[in-house]
A = this chain, B = another copy of it.
Amino acid sequence: MRGDRGRPYTSPHWVTDAWSAIADDRVVRVVVDAAGGDNAPDEIVRGALDAVGPQLHVILVGDEPRIRALLPQGVQYVRVVHAPDVIGYNEEPATAARAKTGSSIVIGLKLVHAGEADAFVSAGNTGAVVAASVLYVRRIPGVKRPAICTIMPAMPAPVAFLDVGANAEVRAEFLRQFAIMGQAFAREVMSIPEPTIGLLSIGEEPTKGTPDVIEAHQLIANDQRIAHFYGNIEGRDIMNRLVDVIVTDGFTGNVGLKTIEGSAKAILGALKATIMWSAKTKLGGLLLQKDLQILKDALNPEEFGGALLVGMNAPVVIAHGNSKARGIAQAVRMGRRGAVSDLLPTIARELGTKTGSV
């Protein structure tokens, strides 16, 4: 599946495309936060409708009249639940998650907790989604901290990368758990049977990095649950795909993810400017146009749809704030995949203990 289409890089949506080929007739109900994200509710509703089907029901939570106005007559497999409130981008996450019980995020997550839905998708305030998930969906017992695990563009194929923002600070033990959850994500969500795990640091040697990273290296290396630990990797190895899963803290991961998004944007922008430089270069660009679009798509993070908050009792998908319909549809599909795959049972089996949680 990796880079095997004859091109040196693979469109990121191979991951989500592959899911439709997996025979599975279970019905999954995915809550979609219709009030979260820059393009709510129009693009959110449109994306949800693109993904909906007999095996994928959606529950749209938000301003009911506005949502209903966007639904076609007689639409099937769609439920609407009204939420009178919304958590904004700049609200303090923990406070908003507790106080705004009428928000689409809290109402949606409570539907999952109540068993009325199987997964949750939001393009809203990430911190609030994480905080409200911990409050209302709760961690799998034994999981010390949930982590945001994303599928990131790399060459020749995407990699799993966690934590990209749930925990600005970590302890070594959290990093060990991230490695175990990332391994499960690569196997169950990305269909990589024998994923290799790398720990992001500032040198290959196990002695390089912060004290927590050095300790985490030892914990991971000696953990029988982690089958293929590559060791430390460095920043330059992320996009050049040395391993299948990259483990780091939420501060470094968030900076790394956004640095790669920014670099791709800057370099593609410079490439475009190079093409526009003269009549000669414009002709060259014309000849390359179709193939450059494939490269551009391979670098587009929206194609993945979102990141999964791993370690929770149900799949919680965090979509890009600026997601359009395509991104939301992919995120909804990831929510379904999270629910039907063995991701959660695997994490529960490997980390689950009623006494191990903090």
A-to-B contact residues, CB < 8 Å = 7-9, 90, 92, 154-155, 165, 168-169, 200-202, 205, 207, 209-211, 213, 234-240, 248, 250-252, 254-271, 273-275, 277-278, 280-281, 283-288, 291-292, 294-295, 298-299
Taken together as a complex, chains A and B put the C-alpha atoms of A262 and B233 apart, in Å, by: 12
A236-B259, A284-B285 known; A267+B265 contact, CB < 8 A: no
Q: How far is the CB of A90 from chain B (nearest CB, A)?
A: 7
What B residues does A258 contact at CB under 8 A?
Answer: 234-236
Known: A154-B266, A234-B255, A264-B267. 16 other contacts (CB 8 A): A7-B273, A202-B250, A209-B251, A234-B258, A234-B262, A235-B255, A240-B262, A248-B255, A251-B252, A259-B263, A260-B263, A263-B263, A263-B264, A281-B287, A283-B284, A285-B288
Contact indicator B284/A298 (Cβ below 8 Å): no
Question: Chain copies in the assembly?
Answer: 2
Contact indicator B155/A266 (Cβ below 8 Å): yes
Q: How far is the CB of A278 from chain B (nearest CB, A)?
A: 8
Taken together as a complex, chains A and B put the C-alpha atoms of A273 and B154 apart, in Å, by: 14
Q: What residue in chain B is nearest A299 (Cβ atoms)?
A: B267
Taken together as a complex, chains A and B put the C-alpha atoms of A265 and B235 apart, in Å, by: 12
Residue among B7, B8, B234, B299 making CB contact with A269, cutoff 8 Å: B8
Taken together as a complex, chains A and B put the C-alpha atoms of A202 and B148 apart, in Å, by: 14
A234-B258, A252-B251 known; A168+B295 contact, CB < 8 A: no
A205-B90, A252-B255, A263-B264 known; A169+B236 contact, CB < 8 A: no
What are the 3 A-B residue pairs with the smallest beta carbon separation, nearest first? A235-B258, A284-B287, A236-B262
Contact indicator A237/B262 (Cβ below 8 Å): yes
A-B contact pairs, 12 of them (CB 8 A): A200-B255, A236-B262, A237-B262, A251-B252, A263-B267, A264-B267, A270-B295, A270-B298, A271-B292, A274-B292, A280-B287, A287-B287
Taken together as a complex, chains A and B put the C-alpha atoms of A234 and B321 apart, in Å, by: 15
What B residues does A259 contact at CB under 8 A?
Answer: 235-236, 238-239, 256, 259-260, 263
What B residues does A154 contact at CB under 8 A?
Answer: 266
Contact indicator A263/B251 (Cβ below 8 Å): no
Taken together as a complex, chains A and B put the C-alpha atoms of A263 and B284 apart, in Å, by: 24
Q: How far is the CB of A121 from chain B (nearest CB, A)?
A: 22
What B residues does A7 contact at CB under 8 A?
Answer: 273, 277
Contact indicator A291/B274 (Cβ below 8 Å): yes
Q: What residue in chain B is nearest A156 (Cβ atoms)?
A: B270
